[in-house]
Every structure is written in structure tokens, then in C-alpha cells.
Amino acid sequence: MAILNRVVGPKVGGTEHLAFDVINGRMTILDTADRISDDEVAQLVTSTGMSAKPWDADNAAKDQAAHLVRQKRFTALSGSCWAAGFLYHIVETGMGGALGLFAGHGEMTMPLVEAGLFAVAILFGVWLVAPKAWSSARRFSPDMNLLMVVAVVGAIGLGEFFEAATVAFFFSLSLYLESWSVGRARNAVSALLDLAPPSARVIRPDGIETDVPAAEVAVNDRFIVRGGDRIPLDGEVVDGAGAVDQAPITGESALVPKERGDEVYAGTINGEGTLTIRATKAASDTVLAKIIRMVGDAHARRAPVEQWVAKFARIYTPIIMMLAIAIALLPPILLGGGWDYWFYNALVLLVIACPCALVISTPVSIVAALTAAARAGVLIKGGAYVEAPGRTTALAMDKTGTITMGEPEVAAVYPLGDASAHDLMKRAAALEARSSHPLARAILARAESEGIDVSAADQTRTVPGRGLEGRADGHSIWLGSDRFAGEKGFSNCIPADLRDRIEGAGSTLVAIGDETGVTGILELRDRIRPDAKRIVAELHARGVKTIVMLTGDNERTARAVAAEVGIDKVRAELLPEDKVRIIEELVADHDMVAMIGDGVNDAPAMARAHYAIAMGAVGSDAAIETADIALMTDDIDRVPWLIGHSRRTMTIIHQNIGISLAAKALFVGLTAFGMASMWGAIAADVGVSLLVVANALRLLNGHRIKESPSGGERVGDQMAKGALAHGH
């Protein structure tokens, strides 16, 4: 990336106009960049020893696979020649002579055949990296490819063909293993594609059932899903009943009952019964497809620690080059040491100082973390948001749908004056007829259950944070909070004892009235989530010092709910702009503030937080697009898991950085005292690379969300069995 920034950056107006996805081998030229043709970009990239062509998702996987095969072939050829040379030496000199290859340097004459085999091993080992090293040398910008090639050339100059071949082979092997590990992380994301079956059993207009590729199924086509089969497309059940396992999308292990009118999602499993489903989205627009695209795009949004590693490598490599020159020159000049001896030690330093393990382990860790989270029903939009949850100290959340179930019901109707309960419900339903707010759905459900014929009110107007106004039956009618009634001058019309009883029970008071005053009261009750108290306690245990509940509900109702679940602070009777102000206050007082909202109504407040979490993103395009992190269900049980997952990821990344730097420091010290050998250095470098990559890939292992109070486990991670590109 560093060399591409230096070469391509100036041609597009600066490096800030470039974005890189290391895992997919993709370079993106942003819309803000100066105009440049694809051919110009390809020529610039070619000048660095790499190749590029316009990004094509379909061909990218083939290109990456071909590159891995090419690396494997050259590594195998290098290794075969290295092994042949080593065996030839054993045959000629015996085992004792073979051990001499690993002891000292420049102490034995090598037969021509043996030297030739090692020379071929060197050629195959450096074949793929030599162009990059040459480009790096021409630009005076040393990188790990140049370090290795200089070490190999230097060893050849000293007559150390065995050590040169060892460095070339093991460096080639290291690069191949890195590509393999990156492919493993990339394939973990690609495995999401396998969740949706490639075909659907479509019912033709004449009633005949035909298997059709899922990509060819049109919206509104009907298809059959039998018990035990995966659902190929998002849709609506039009016939049949069953129970669907939505774990691949939401991370929930419990089967979800489905019947006529219910939504289903591609990639989920029909556990029982046969369903007839009407496709509501094309294969490219399903929730699963969006998740795959989001996780893929998230690779390019690098975490701060990833950016630090990249900057460190850019500074570190030139320093190592200078230190190697110093080791080669200063001891012979100042202390009279042997030139060959200290030149060899300088080459050893170049080998062990190669930062490949340090550079590759972090992006692999991030991608593994993103993929594991997606399988747990948590969609993280980028590496930056993998790191943030682990540092969360304050969390703000809405009451409805977060602490409570989000499914309020009309618990009681209290007519006042001459009004009847029927008239109250008819007026309330008329005002709410075109609203999708949870309170509106509760009122409309009650009206339907009572057989009330609902006609939408005329001239309806929403008063943000207050309620609704409109006209019905020749009267101006309104509905809203007791504060709304107070603003209209009717606060005293609400009986104090009734207000106290409703608010003291944690219910919501909704006043209904007209131009003459308050004609009645509705009591709406939203059940608190049974596991809300446990989740809040877990958040506190994970280091979230302040949890704030934000709500437009009245103070007493909000405090009753907060006290029951253990929330620290309550801010009630809020307008949308009030939530923004409170988030700004939290940001000023805390290092990392998260806001949980629905991704639409709370968008301004969510934008002010350090990062935002959208609840229940399944089926909601807006929620997925708005927030930095989207929970695929409306269950905040994912939030403590997310914090723990973030910390586990950062622990592994810090372990990898520590292991890499400690190994480098050890061999630098040994080299300074002339106690290290080149073959030992490269073996240690490859070993460290394997260790940190294996450590990073541990994040792909299944991870379970805590057991719910009902005793059922909520499975968090349901694990299912690089060309560069350019585009404006």
C-alpha cells in the first residue's frame, strides 16, 4: 500500500483519495480524486512490479486463486531444488558434512552441481518478488521485498549459496503462507454465499413446479421450500406454516414460527412444514446479499491499530536498512573486525527484520473478527468499529424496543366527561391510521379487536415529540402526551390520581381531546424485556460506566423502567434535538460513547456518538445503511457480546504485535553480537509469521452468546461448514 500511495497518490490529487482492501487485493480511487484513466492506473501499478486491472468481483476470485497457484508452484520448485542440493551434499559428504552447512559460513568449498541446484532454488524463490524489489530500490523506498533480495544477493556475494537458497525458499514459503491465510479469511466471508441455495423451486402460472437459478427468480414469483431446505430468496409466506431457523442471519438458535403474511430471509432454514413464498427481493438485494457486500466493503475501513502498524512498517524498514549498513561498516572500521563476518551479520539483520509477520497479522485478525461477528448476527461496518466497542465507557439507548419489547398494548381506556370508550378508540385510531409508530400499531390493534371501523382523519399533522393533530367528524382532534395536553392548556383536565397510577406503574399515558378539552386517557403498557436487567448488569461488568436511557416518555414512567433494570441515568420527555444535545454532552465527558437506536429516527443523535448501533436491522435497509454496527435482531443481548468480541480481537492483535516485535528484538540483539545465522533468522521469521496468522485465525472459531434466562443457548457464531482494482 505504501508504494502504491507514493506512485498513484500524486496522480489522483493525494493519498487521501485512495482506499485499500488488503484482503481482497483491491485499490479504490474515490470519487473525490482527479480524473485518471484505467490504463494510466494500470501503467503506474505495473511500474511498481505489481499488476492491476479494473475490479470485477466475478473474476477477482479467479485471479486470486491463480496468483496463489503461481506462488505455490514457484515455492515448490524452489523448495525441491533446495532439498535436492541438500541431499546431494549429504551424499557427497555424509551427515557430518551436512551439519556443517548450518555451522558458520564461508568455511567449505561447494561442488558445482550442488551450487547449481541452490542457484536454481534462489532463482525460483525470488522470481515473483524481484520486480517489486527493483521498483523499491529505484524509488529509494525500501520494503520487505528489497530487504530479502539484498540479503540473498549479499549471501551469494559471500559464496554462501546454501544460506542464500534457504532465505529465498523460506521467504517464498512465507509469502505463500500469508496469501493462503488471507485467502482463508476471505473464504470465510465468501462462505456466507453458500448459505443461500443456488436454485429455487418456482411455481409457474400453469401450476408446474420448476427448479430455476435463484438469480433468475423475479420479484413476485412464487416458490416452494420444503422442510429442512434453505430459503433461497427474501420473501413473504403466502401459504403453509412452519418454523424457520434464522441463526445464519440473526445468530438466534430458536426456531421462529412462520405463517401466511410473515417475512422470511434468504439463507435461513425451513425447519418444518412446507412453505409457499412470494419473492419480495431479487437475489442481489436480499438481506444476506447486503450483509456479504457490507462485510466485504468493511475490509477497506482500517482500524486505528491497523493504520499504526502500516505507519510503523514504513518508518521501521528504512531504519533497519541504515542499521544493517552500520553493522556492516562500523565494526570493521572502528574495531578492526572482519569485513566478511560483519557483512554477513548485516545480511542476517535484514532477514530477521523483515516486517511481513507484523504487517499481515493485523488485517487477517480484523477480517476474521468481522466475519465471526456477521455470523453472530452483528454486522460491523469496518475495522475502526471492531476496536471501538472494547473501549466503550458510556452507552445511550432508547427505551422502546431496546429495554422494553417494543410491542406496547392498550392496557386500559379511561373516558372522561360524556365520551365513551368506543368514541375514544375511534378518534385515536383515526389519527394513527397512517402511522407506523409502535404506539400507533397498539392503538390500531385494539380498535381492530373491538371491531371499530377506522377512517383516517383529515389534515393530520405530527408534532415531533408531542403527538398528532387532525380533523374528524367536523371536529379538531388531537392525541399525545400529557405535556402536549398541557401546552394546549388542558393539563388540569387529567385527574392527578389517574396520572400517578399510570406513570407509577411504568405505563405510558396518552391523552385524547378536542377543542373543548381532554375527552379521555389511554394507558399503554410495553413489557420490559425479561433479560434486560441481566444485560445491563453485564454491560456494567464489561466496563461501561454510564448507561443512559433516552426517551420521549414522561419522567415518572421512564424512571420506573430504569429503576427496574438498573440503568444509571434517565433523560425523559425528549425531543429529537434534545437527544443530540445529550449525546454531545456524553461525548465531552467520556472517551468512547455508543448510541443504540433504530437507524432512522435517531440518526442525528447516532451521528454525534463515537459509534452507533442499529437495532433489528433484518429487513431494514435504512438501519443497515445508517449505523456503524447493525444488530440483525432487536435483541441487545448482542451488545455485551460485541464488547467482549472487540476486546478479544484487540487482545489477539496486541499479542501478534508483541510476538513479532519480541522475535525481531531478540535476533537483532543476537546479530549485534554475531551470534545469529541467516538460515536461523529466516526460519524464525517464517515461524513467527505462521504463529501470528494462526493466532489471528482463532477469531473464526465459533463463539456463543450467553445463555438466556429461559435456558436456551443463543448461538452467536454459527460457523458454516490478489489482483488490484480501480474504479471511480
The owner of cell 445529550 is 582
Neighbours of 512 (CB within 10 A): 27
- Computed from CA positions of residues 308, 314, 317, 319, in that sequence, does the dihedral angle turn out positive or negative? negative
Nine-digit cell string for 58: 466475478
DSSP state of 605: H
Nine-digit cell string for 143: 520494503
Phi (first) and psi of residue 609, to 5 degrees: -75, 165
Nine-digit cell string for 202: 418456482
Beta strands at 629-631 and 611-614: parallel, antiparallel or unpaired: parallel
Beta strands at 458-463 and 467-472: parallel, antiparallel or unpaired: antiparallel
- Cα–Cα distance measured from residue 554 to residue 509, given in angstroms and rounded to the nearest whole number: 8
- Cα–Cα distance measured from residue 511 to residue 527, given in angstroms and rounded to the nearest whole number: 20
Beta strands at 18-21 and 242-245: parallel, antiparallel or unpaired: unpaired
Q: State the Cα angle at 675 between 670 and 679, rounded to 5°.
A: 95
253-266 per-residue burial string, b: 16 or more CB within 10 A, e: under 16: bbbbebeeebebbb
Torsion of CA 48, 53, 59, 64, to 10 degrees: 0
- Cα–Cα distance measured from residue 664 to residue 313, given in angstroms and rounded to the nearest whole number: 13
Is 664 within 8 Å of 316 (Cβ atoms)? Answer: no
Using DSSP's 3-state secondary structure scheme, residue 392 falls into coil
3-state secondary structure 338-376: CHHHHHHHHHHHHHHCCCHHHHHHHHHHHHHHHHHHHHC
**Closest to 79 measured CA to CA, from 176, 151, 178, 168:** 168
Catalytic residue chosen out of the listed positions 221, 234, 398, 717: 398
- Computed from CA positions of residues 558, 564, 565, 566, in that sequence, does the dihedral angle turn out positive or negative? positive
Helix ranges (H only) for 101-160 are 112-126, 130-138, 144-157
- Cα–Cα distance measured from residue 644 to residue 700, given in angstroms and rounded to the nearest whole number: 15
Is 120 within 8 Å of 74 (Cβ atoms)? Answer: no
**Closest to 524 measured CA to CA, from 437, 410, 442:** 410
**398 an active-site residue?**
yes
How would DSSP label each residue in 263-311?
A: EE-TT-EEEES-EEEEE-S-GGGSHHHHHHHHHHHHTTS--HHHHHHHH
Nine-digit cell string for 354: 523483515
Beta strands at 263-264 and 222-225: parallel, antiparallel or unpaired: unpaired
Is 482 within 8 Å of 554 (Cβ atoms)? Answer: yes
558-588 per-residue burial string, b: 16 or more CB within 10 A, e: under 16: bbbbbeebebeebbbbbeeebbbebbeebbe
Q: State the Cα angle at 292 between 714 and 8, rounded to 5°.
A: 135
DSSP element (H, E) containing 688: helix 678-697
How would DSSP label each residue in 410-479?
A: EEEEEE-TT--HHHHHHHHHHHHTT--SHHHHHHHHHHHHTT----PPEEEEEETTTEEEEEETTEEEEE
- Cα–Cα distance measured from residue 469 to residue 490, given in angstroms and rounded to the nearest whole number: 15
Beta strands at 394-398 and 593-597: parallel, antiparallel or unpaired: parallel
Distance from chain centroid for Cα 336: 56
Is 41 within 8 Å of 54 (Cβ atoms)? Answer: no
- What residues are annotated to the active site? 398
